[in-house]
Amino acid sequence: MKQGRKLALLFLLVFTAALLGGCNSSGNVGVIDVNKVMTESPKVKQFQEQLNVKGKELSDQLEKDKTSLSAADFQKKQETLYAEFMKVKQEMEGQIDSSIKETLDGIAKEKKLGVILYKNGVAQGGTDITDDVIKKLQ
């Protein structure tokens, strides 16, 4: 019975050492500054401009209809257009997320990264791939 425990403990120690050894290599870990990607990526800026255009379009439509609608109908119309805007916003955010994920997958393979972490959660180390993501998201 004692030998079984020793073997299990030895296995656990070897497994833990292998796991930690693999994670300790800074060349295998990428980091990304998502805030920088969201503010500097041309593709994200394009999505934001499209969203702004859609918001202005819906706002103009609501303003045009304001004089011809009762207060109750205006409020219903306002809620409907807001729901439409939120749906478009969610779709665009999904497209951005999908584009970023696809880009990260490609960079991870290209740079042989096993893990990509958010930069604000990493105190030190890792390979910063933020600029690579921004370049590929054009």
3-class secondary structure, 127: strand
Q: Is the pLDDT of residue 70 over 80?
A: yes
Distance of alpha carbon 51 from alpha carbon 56, whole angstroms: 9
Sign of the CA dihedral with 106 first, then 48, 34, and 86 last: negative
Instruction: Round to whole Å and give the CA distance between 91 and 84.
Output: 11
Q: What percent of the chain has pLDDT over 90?
A: 27
Q: Closest Cα to residue 137, out of 64, 23, 45?
A: 45
Q: What angle, 0 to 180 degrees and rounded to 10, lies between the N-to-C axes of helices 42-65 and 71-110?
A: 170
**Predicted confidence (pLDDT) per residue in 24-67, tens digit:** 444 588 888 888 988 899 988 998 999 999 999 999 988 888 88
Residue 79 pLDDT level (bands cut at 50, 70, 90) = very high
End-to-end CA separation in angstroms for the chain? 62
Handedness of CA 86, 92, 95, 97 (dihedral sign): negative
The DSSP element (H or E) to which 28 belongs, if any, is: none
Fold classified for 2-136 = Protein Binding, DinI Protein; Chain A (3.30.910)
Taking the domains of the chain in order of start, what are their residue ranges?
2-136
Cα–Cα distance measured from residue 23 to residue 28, given in angstroms and rounded to the nearest whole number: 7
